[in-house]
Amino acid sequence: MSCILAIESSCDDTSAAVLENDLLLANFIAGQKVHEMYGGVVPELASRAHLQNIVPVVDAVLKTSGMKPGNLDAIAFTRGPGLMGSLLVGVSFAKALSLSLHIPLVEVNHLEAHVLSHFIRTPEYHHAPKFPFLCLLVSGGHTQILKVESPSRFEVLGGTIDDAAGECIDKAAKIMGLSYPGGPVVDRLAKEGDPDRFKIARPRMDKLNYSFSGLKTSFLYLVRDELKKDPDFIEKNKNDLCASVQKAVIGSLMDKLVQAARQTGIKQVAIAGGVSANSLLRGEMEKAQALYGWESFIPPFSFTTDNAAMVGIAGSFKFADKKFCDLSAVPYARA
């Protein structure tokens, strides 16, 4: 039995969670509205907000879970990748708390935590894949297909050579002047649009790799050329534009994932990361389950974005194997 406090501060969300083994007792997330006016995360503002949020967030999650600091067995924290200033806040807090409570530290890789979020158990939900399984890890900063052989063994089968899928959708939203973050807005508007109205160039990459920079550029040129003819083009065609670009991105993601499943013969297939909240991707996963005989694993919406619960479950696996780190551990910005 282990009771772990987890801390996540890799980007613009300050989060803390308490887990008892794989059971989530509480998970709190403090977002940052300050970035909306800039259309993207401003690193310095993010780190300052983490400093303001981390103490009240940890205090709240401990009170909600009913756990006192003395009941904790370890502190799990995101070491990277992420924004260096944001990571420093979480890492420094975790070290200080570990030192004051005389309990071990467990470092967690942010990307591995997203993948392992499928193993979080709540009173309402528990649907975990069996090893080995495939996972499409897709977010604003990362796009990879992974073969997950155990909680500590991951093989990268393919990934993006340039932009991430979520970044592509966010840039398309910015081109159209939509609010930040753009992904959820595009997803919402796409439901009312015609995905076949506009043809967006889709890249053809070797093996299981992705490329989204050309797709993004194709969308930019389309919008630019049409605006020369009609200044109101975006406003008149917003829903169809969203549906078309989303279809191109999600279609590219699914093509490679299907290819990976065929090559490996693995039928346990999962998605993770912020873009796993996308309704079209979720729908395509359900279709693939029926078409290819997969057992698909789609995380609850609360575990798709950055959160400490996923850090806690990754930390729980490491705690069971006694994989601790010392106070010399420093954050890293890149994987």
- Buried (b) or exposed (e) across 301-322, using 16+ Cβ within 10 A? ebbbbbbbbbbbbbbbbbbeee
Give the gyration radius of the chain's Cα atoms.
Answer: 20
- How many CB atoms are closer than 10 A to CB 242? 26
Cα(332)–Cα(150) distance, rounded to whole angstroms?
Answer: 23
- How many CB atoms are closer than 10 A to CB 177? 11
pLDDT value of residue 42: 75
pLDDT value of residue 35: 57
- Tokens representing 203 are 């890249």
Q: What are the backbone dihedrals phi and psi of residue 240, each rounded to the nearest 5 degrees, phi first?
A: -65, -35
DSSP 195: T
pLDDT value of residue 38: 58
Q: Which long-range contacts (CB under 8 A, 24 or more apart) does 225-234 make?
A: 234/176, 234/177
Q: Strands, E, within 216-329: which ranges? A: 268-272, 295-297
Inter-helix orientation angle 233-264/213-229, to 10° = 160
Print pLDDT tens along the chain (335 aa): 799 999 999 988 899 999 999 999 999 998 766 656 656 777 788 889 899 999 999 999 999 999 999 999 999 999 999 999 999 999 999 999 999 999 999 999 999 999 999 999 998 888 899 999 999 999 888 999 999 999 999 999 999 999 999 999 999 999 999 988 899 999 999 999 999 999 998 888 989 999 999 999 999 999 999 999 999 999 999 999 999 999 999 999 999 999 999 999 999 999 999 999 999 999 999 999 999 999 999 999 999 999 999 999 999 999 999 999 999 999 999 87
